[in-house]
């Protein structure tokens, strides 16, 4: 066990259940070592994000495991005085940074928030330029496993998660307010293989998911993205033609089914340079509360066209997905200028709060999912540290009428 409540330098061992720990400088998990967080741990980063030295990170060269539970989740965050709406995109600490030779990362029922401090000398120049905002999680081991389940990635200055390469299982998480004026909630590159399902993506600056084979490894980026819910994504991206919900590009491939996309700047985009022959998609539900949202359901600069199983509103506010406790028409997108500034966005467009995204009886997404395909199941860990991969669901979106799927 780790006896001190203040961590610095090389760290290994166990952070004990229900304890609070602090770090004001980088902590490092050396190659071959493991840092394990039991349930109910709070790990607080002390910094202000003004420079690399004042935004400490967790450097993972070994194995990092956070085992929160539904009733006793873990937090990797900032002091309560800094966890304010004004600091949503400030970037106060440096995130969890996994190197190319790191071990596995297993993160369950864990809140990771307020990340994005500027990169510096300990960061891989192939991932960050000096001064770039760091991601909440960066993972680079093409032979390793990244398991992220039932967790929250919130309030990040740039990407929430960037996987340069690795075997992944990304299940039942909530990604919210990722990226100030650019950045994705989840961004995968060449060498990344696995499944992304039952996640809620809310208020990403650009895409909820960006799947790309850029990076040039010998393993093609291959990701199945199914039964996810995307809300209010792509609205802050300042570059023309970018931003939306799901983007497959530059030789990436995978299966894309059963995703619910509401009030996002664009629907599914499969670019002409993606592996279109091996990127298969259908059964998405699209909703827009303004004509300018409807016009982006099928981006004109992509090859994703309407499919037989798609459900798309024919006019503004038609085909409401009928969330149990979330008003998709609360904001007037018709009069909004897109891209929008952070200051012009109500908090409900960025954060889930006390909302409930289960589908009510009568929702057009019920019983419209495609279920006759299998997850890739690429991760190799089993047991306590293994993944719980959700099979494709019969209802479109991350929340299933039978109580399965996302539990947030």
Q: Are 7 and 22 in contact (CB under 8 A)?
A: yes
DSSP 93: B
Q: Residue holding tokens 């790990």?
A: 43
Quick one: pLDDT at residue 1?
A: 64
Report cis status (omega within 30 of 0) of the bond before 51: no
CA distances from 141 to 66, 104, 165, 170, 381 (A): 18, 8, 6, 16, 15
Structural domain boundaries in the chain: 9-385
Q: How far apart are CA 203 and CA 352, in angstroms?
A: 9
Reading the chain (408 residues) residue by residue, the pLDDT tens digits are: 688 999 999 999 999 999 999 999 999 999 999 999 999 999 999 999 999 999 999 999 999 999 999 999 999 999 999 999 999 999 999 999 998 899 999 999 999 999 999 999 999 999 999 999 999 999 999 999 999 999 999 999 999 999 999 999 999 999 999 999 999 999 999 999 999 999 999 999 999 999 999 998 999 999 999 999 999 999 999 887 778 899 999 999 999 999 999 999 999 999 999 999 999 999 999 999 999 999 999 999 999 999 999 999 999 999 999 999 999 999 999 999 999 999 999 999 999 999 999 999 999 999 999 999 999 999 999 999 999 999 999 999 999 999 999 999
Q: Does the model's pTM come out above 0.95? A: yes
65: three-class secondary structure by DSSP: strand
First-last CA distance in the chain: 31
């Amino acid at each position: 066990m780790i006896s001190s409540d203040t961590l610095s330098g090389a760290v290994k061992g166990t952070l004990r259940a229900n304890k609070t720990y602090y770090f004001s400088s980088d902590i490092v998990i050396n190659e071959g070592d493991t840092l394990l967080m039991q349930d109910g741990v709070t790990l607080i980063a002390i910094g202000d994000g003004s420079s690399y030295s004042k935004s400490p990170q967790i450097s993972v060269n070994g194995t990092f495991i956070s085992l929160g539970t539904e009733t006793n989740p873990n937090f990797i965050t900032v002091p309560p005085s800094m966890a304010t709406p004004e600091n949503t995109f400030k970037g106060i600490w440096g995130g969890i940074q996994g190197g190319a030779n790191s071990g596995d990362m297993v993160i369950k029922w864990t809140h990771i928030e307020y990340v994005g401090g500027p990169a510096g000398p300990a960061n891989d120049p192939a991932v960050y330029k000096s001064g770039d905002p760091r991601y909440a999680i960066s993972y680079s081991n093409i032979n390793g496993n990244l398991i992220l389940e039932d967790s929250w990635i919130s309030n990040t200055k740039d990407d929430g998660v960037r996987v340069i390469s690795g075997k992944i299982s990304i299940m039942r998480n909530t990604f919210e307010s990722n990226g100030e004026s650019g950045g994705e909630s989840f961004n995968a590159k060449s060498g990344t293989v696995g499944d992304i399902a039952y996640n809620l993506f809310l208020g990403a600056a650009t895409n909820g998911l960006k799947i790309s084979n850029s990076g040039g490894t010998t393993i093609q980026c291959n990701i199945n993205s199914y039964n996810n819910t995307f809300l209010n994504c792509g609205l802050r991206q300042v570059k023309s033609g970018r931003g939306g919900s799901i983007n497959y590009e530059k030789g990436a491939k995978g299966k894309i089914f059963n995703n619910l996309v509401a009030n996002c700047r664009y629907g599914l985009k499969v670019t002409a340079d993606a592996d279109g022959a091996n990127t298969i998609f259908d059964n998405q539900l699209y909703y827009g509360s303004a004509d300018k949202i409807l016009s982006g359901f099928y981006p004109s600069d992509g090859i994703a066209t309407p499919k037989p199983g798609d459900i798309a509103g024919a006019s503004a506010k038609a085909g409401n997905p009928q969330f149990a406790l979330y008003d998709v028409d609360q904001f007037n997108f018709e009069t909004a200028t897109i891209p929008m500034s952070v200051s012009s966005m109500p908090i409900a467009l960025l954060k889930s709060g006390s909302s409930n995204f289960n589908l009510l009886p009568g929702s057009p997404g019920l019983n419209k999912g495609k279920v006759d395909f299998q997850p890739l199941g690429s991760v190799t860990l089993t047991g306590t540290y293994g993944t719980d991969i959700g099979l494709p669901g019969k209802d479109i979106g991350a929340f299933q009428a039978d109580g399965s799927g996302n539990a947030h």
